[in-house]
Amino acid sequence: MKLLFLGSPGVGKGTYAQVLMEVLEIPHISTGDLLREEAKRDTPLGNEIKKVMEKGELVDDHVMLKLLENRITEDDCKNGFILDGFPRNLVQAGYLKKLVDITHVLNFKADDKIIIQRLSGRITCRKCSAIYNKVGNKPKVEGVCDKCGTELFQRKDDKPESVKKRLEVYKEKTKPLIDYYSDEGLLVEVVINKNISEIKDKLVSQIKAFLEGKIDEIEEIK
């Protein structure tokens, strides 16, 4: 199963990708995480990536494509993967098509107001990238990751100035991808307007049933 997750920043796709990766036993490839790893290195490329990300803009296609190709050709991706955060524009989509055959595209959706609330409350683990939220999806101990015990932090690009910019960039550059994958017959919608952790189990079973061909669409859980 070669899955692609689309949806605006903060819609919840990263959280669901982390759960589904365990259920489906395939790796979760987040291009944001790949770039954050690269940005940690004190190299000219790392510093350049860091600057672009902090502004909420998109990293150069050429750099992104190289990092993705390196990751997707690793051994653990042979039986499939969940690609999250890529493609972000039609150039990247064209490139991906030459590289692999995506089997399903899940388009995660939520109301703008809910997305902004989620992003401003989001806290992330410095080590394993697990995602929590100060409102709906708190860790057991404040400020500490449940999975690996590392400190949690707020990403610089989850601060209000960057959040606004990221949502604008998403609307302008990434939305055309929805038409692209719909025309390819690969797109299915996943609406998450409820608190992510409250509906997680039900939604994950529906997604699994859909991927196994047992149901034709994924219904919104109200």
- Catalytic residue chosen out of the listed positions 118, 166, 194, 200: 166
Residue whose CB is less far from ligand AMP, 158 or 206: 158
Interaction with ligand AMP in 153-182: which residues (CB under 6 A)? 157, 166
Active site annotation includes 126: no
Min dist. Cβ of residue 32 to ligand AMP (A): 2
Using the rule CB under 6 A, which residue among 3, 29, 59, 211 binds ligand AMP? 59
82 is a site residue for ligand AMP (CB under 6 A)? no
1 is a site residue for ligand AMP (CB under 6 A)? no
Min dist. Cβ of residue 56 to ligand AMP (A): 5
In three-state form (DSSP H/G/I as H, E/B as E, the rest C), the secondary structure along the chain is CEEEEECCCCCCHHHHHHHHHHHHCCCEEEHHHHHHHHHHCCCHHHHHHHHHHHHCCCCCHHHHHHHHHHHHCCHHHCCCEEEECCCCCHHHHHHHHHHCCCCEEEEEECCHHHHHHHHHHEEEECCCCCEEECCCECCCCCCECCCCCCEEECCHHHCHHHHHHHHHHHHHHHCHHHHHHHHCCCEEEEECCCCHHHHHHHHHHHHHHHHCCCCCCCCCCC
Positions touching ligand AMP (CB under 6 A) are 9, 30-32, 35, 52-53, 56-59, 64, 85-86, 88, 92, 157, 166
